[in-house]
């Protein structure tokens, strides 16, 4: 039986989900190239798995840069070393990507510390910004997808900030989209009005939903033999349900050259 606090959390999540989804406007899929910036292996599939698969049906170039290897997902859980977890999660990213049509040569790894992606004014931020800006300039995507700046997880919000500074660094004219992951689970009601001011779009992924579900399941079903838990860590109950719809939600920025740098 759920406690009063748990019921209130459930109601809050339902309100936030309904509000965001009700304002989302349908958007089409082009053959334009795109780059997804993922803080950890699995973020790209949860938030953008359908998008990746659809873009591949258009023969568009799809690239993903993983800022970390997700090596901290078993910290304090078992005796598995961070190197072992990192190796497993990299392999899972490659295998899940293949399900969606993502090519290994279009996957890039920055090797930042999981749980400590540098945010503004933190040590390593400028160096990370330069490395990411260089990669974006080399890939030259027409569209770029980054975690939302209110995604309610430190690594995700730091990833959003460094990505937007990198785009400003190279004066990019690509289309910028924010994707939600932890917003669905952790966002506070007081932050909802700001999100609803943004242009919200939804992309129909019905034709490739089975591929997305298979890619997600591939991540979730891979168990660490040291503890018997998924390599990606234990996700909250009901969390994955947010990513089972036949559409995906994105927030579109009006200005990529000078994106709104929330802090």
Domains in the chain and their CATH numbers? 27-249 (3.40.50.10320)
Strand duo 25-27 + 199-204: pairing:
parallel
- List, as own/partner pairs, every contact residues 118-125 make where C-beta atoms lie below 8 angstroms and the sequence separation is at least 24, other chains included: 118/158, 118/162, 119/154, 119/157, 119/158, 119/161, 119/162, 120/161, 120/165, 120/263, 122/158, 125/162
Those residues of the chain that have pLDDT short of 50 are 257, 263
Report the alpha-carbon distance of residue 158 to residue 150 in Å, rounded.
Answer: 10
Question: Angle, to 10 degrees, between the axis of helix 82-100 and the axis of helix 43-57?
Answer: 30
Report the alpha-carbon distance of residue 173 to residue 178 in Å, rounded.
Answer: 16
Q: Residue 3: its pLDDT value, please?
A: 86
Q: Residue 261: its pLDDT value, please?
A: 55
Q: Residue 258: its pLDDT value, please?
A: 52
Q: Residue 263: its pLDDT value, please?
A: 45
Rounded to 5 degrees, φ, ψ at 100 are -90, -5
Rounded to 5 degrees, φ, ψ at 217 are -65, -35
Spatial neighbors of 62 by CB under 8 A, at least 6 apart, are 33, 34, 36, 52, 55, 56, 101, 102, 103, 106
Q: Residue 172: its pLDDT value, please?
A: 87
Q: Residue 6: its pLDDT value, please?
A: 84
Alpha carbon separation from 54 to 71, 94, 110, 128, 204 (Å, rounded) = 29, 18, 26, 30, 9
């Amino acid at each position: 039986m759920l406690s009063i606090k748990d019921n209130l959390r459930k109601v809050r999540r339902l309100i936030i989900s309904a509000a965001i989804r009700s304002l989302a406007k349908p958007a089409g899929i082009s053959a334009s190239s795109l780059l997804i910036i993922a803080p950890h292996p699995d973020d790209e599939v949860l938030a953008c798995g359908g998008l990746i698969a659809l873009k591949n049906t258009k023969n568009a170039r799809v690239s993903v840069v993983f800022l970390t290897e997700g090596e901290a997902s078993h910290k304090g859980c078992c005796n598995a070393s961070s190197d072992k977890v990192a190796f497993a999660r990299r392999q899972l990213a490659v295998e899940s990507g293949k399900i969606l049509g993502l090519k290994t040569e279009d996957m890039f790894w920055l090797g930042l510390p999981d749980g400590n992606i540098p945010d503004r004014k933190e040590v390593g931020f400028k160096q990370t910004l330069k490395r990411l800006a260089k990669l974006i300039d080399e890939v030259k995507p027409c569209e770029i997808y980054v975690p939302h700046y209110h995604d309610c997880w430190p690594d995700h919000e730091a990833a959003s900030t460094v990505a937007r500074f990198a785009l400003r660094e190279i004066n990019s004219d690509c289309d910028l989209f924010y994707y939600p992951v932890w917003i669905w689970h952790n966002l506070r009601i007081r932050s909802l009005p700001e999100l609803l001011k943004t242009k919200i779009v939804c992309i129909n992924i019905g034709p490739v939903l089975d591929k997305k579900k298979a890619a997600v399941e591939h991540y979730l079903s891979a168990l660490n033999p040291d503890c018997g838990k998924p390599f990606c860590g234990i996700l909250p109950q009901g969390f994955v349900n947010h990513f089972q719809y036949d559409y995906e939600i994105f927030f579109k920025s009006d200005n990529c050259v000078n994106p709104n740098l929330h802090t």
